[in-house]
Structure 1
């Protein structure tokens, strides 16, 4: 998956909206070169308007439907990644899933990042009732046990899944995804912890591959 087209929604001027679509055109061009069939789209943050959940949903649905017109001829899917921070416009699984349901296209689904799911207390009940076929990407990671919505609960608190201090219930994530029909096609690891950036690229890639393989073998 191409990660990512960032801050796609809630644009207030036509110029801003046009810039998002131009960015999408460029990413489609790159995806054709790379033979990549998935683009992750990330919601906007720090909105200047006090938009309601319903207003944000309506805007995202409209934008994603326009994006589908661009990606459909190339057989490329769009995966909406909710981001678990108070400043993000789409910050819980249930918000993202409702948007995807409203768009109602086989080309639009959700990116489930475990860190983001935990960070803003997305509802397990919502995930358990979801159609797993609408979850396109599963981002593995662990996290320190921080208060929900805390301003300091940032990407720096991510961990390799299962590392000492990791608070996530990995078995529950895997069991739930299997139960609802997630097919496991795109499973990636996303950590962003400053300590890990101290590793060389080769060390980081090797470690990430080892951790992902061990995690999948244990839970999937």
Structure 2
């Protein structure tokens, strides 16, 4: 099982350039590159600079994170999503990054689950058609909040199955899985080949309806049964990667290297009991 770093973990205290240096230093296998940090990086550097870094170092890019609010967009809004997707696909082709996380829309009102499913499938198919020539896959990430249109693993997996595209899969985020009481049996029934990304973090002991990203804590320091999730992933044959992702402002106040080092240590501690290699 490979260990990745999601740049949201240093959103407030680092840059892509620094994240790459510290992640390489502390032995990460992969990095999930944030869209906003990438654009900031390219104001001072080129895509070729990024490509060369990965050619010269052990760490590799795993996914871009993320295209957000992809569903229920007006025409102009969806064109911006398409433009951003092309930019990430073109960059990914140059640096060897072949996955993009995509997130559904929040706060859509009284749409039924069937309408939500139909719209999300429609959009995923359109975006998958655009990404496919680049060899890029899309990973749908549900968000475990009541106002997210897709907020459980089971709902997201059903949508991915209905999309029925080889380059469309799912993100299993442990925090979001816990936050809306997703069911572990749904993971047991899943095809591991459709789980494209796994995000790992833990949670404060807060009622589910109140949980938000700032309640995330380092893996193993909270109340999520990470052992159950990791054991289940192993049982179904998933052995690709886990990426530490936290959006806790308290950690953004730390020195960036300390944040990255702590993420590696706590993730290793949580994962290696189940995946020694």
- Normalised by the length of structure 1, the TM-score is 0.92
Equivalent residue number for residue 126 of structure 2: 66
Matches within 5 A, 1:33-48: 33-47=94-108
Distance 1:21 1:51 in 2: 24
Structure 1 residues 104-143: aligned runs within 5 Å: 104-143=164-203
Query: Could you tell me the TM-score, scaled by structure 2's length?
Result: 0.74
Q: Which runs of 5+ in 2 are unaligned?
A: 1-62
Within 2, Cα distance between the matches of 1:169 and 1:195? Answer: 23
* Aligned-pair CA distance for 1:196: 0.9
* Corresponding residue of 1:155: 213
Structure 1 residue runs of 4 or more that deviate by more than 4 Å after TM superposition: none
1:17-32 equivalences under 5 Å are 17-32=78-93
Task: Give matches, 1:177-216, under 5 Å.
Answer: 177-184=233-240, 186-216=241-271
Pairing 1:94–2:149 present:
no
Deviation per CA, 1:23-48, whole angstroms, max 9, x where unpaired?
2112212222332111000111122x
Aligned equivalent of 2:206? 146
Give the root-mean-square deviation of aligned CA atoms: 1.3
Q: Distance in 2 between matches of 1:155 and 1:136?
A: 21
**1:14 & 1:194 partners in 2: Cα distance?**
34
Q: Equivalent residue for 1:176?
A: 232
Conserved 8 A contact 1:5-1:40: yes
CA shift, 1:53, in A, is 0.9
CA–CA distance in 2 between the matches of 1:78 and 1:22?
15
Q: Which moved more, 1:22-31 or 1:130-139?
A: 22-31
SS for the counterpart of 1:2 is strand
1:15 aligns with 2:76: yes
Deviates more, 1:117-126 or 1:14-23: 14-23
**Bigger relative contact order, structure 1 or 2 (CA pairs below 8 A, ≥6 apart):** 2
Contact residue 170 and residue 219 of structure 1 kept, 8 A:
no
Q: Deviations over 1:49-80 (max 9, x none)?
A: 42111111111111111111111111111100
Per-residue Cα deviation, 1:150-198 (whole angstroms, up to 9, x for no partner): 2xx11111110112xx1111111011111122232x3100111222111
Question: Residues of 1 paired with 2:206 and 2:187: CA distance?
Answer: 21
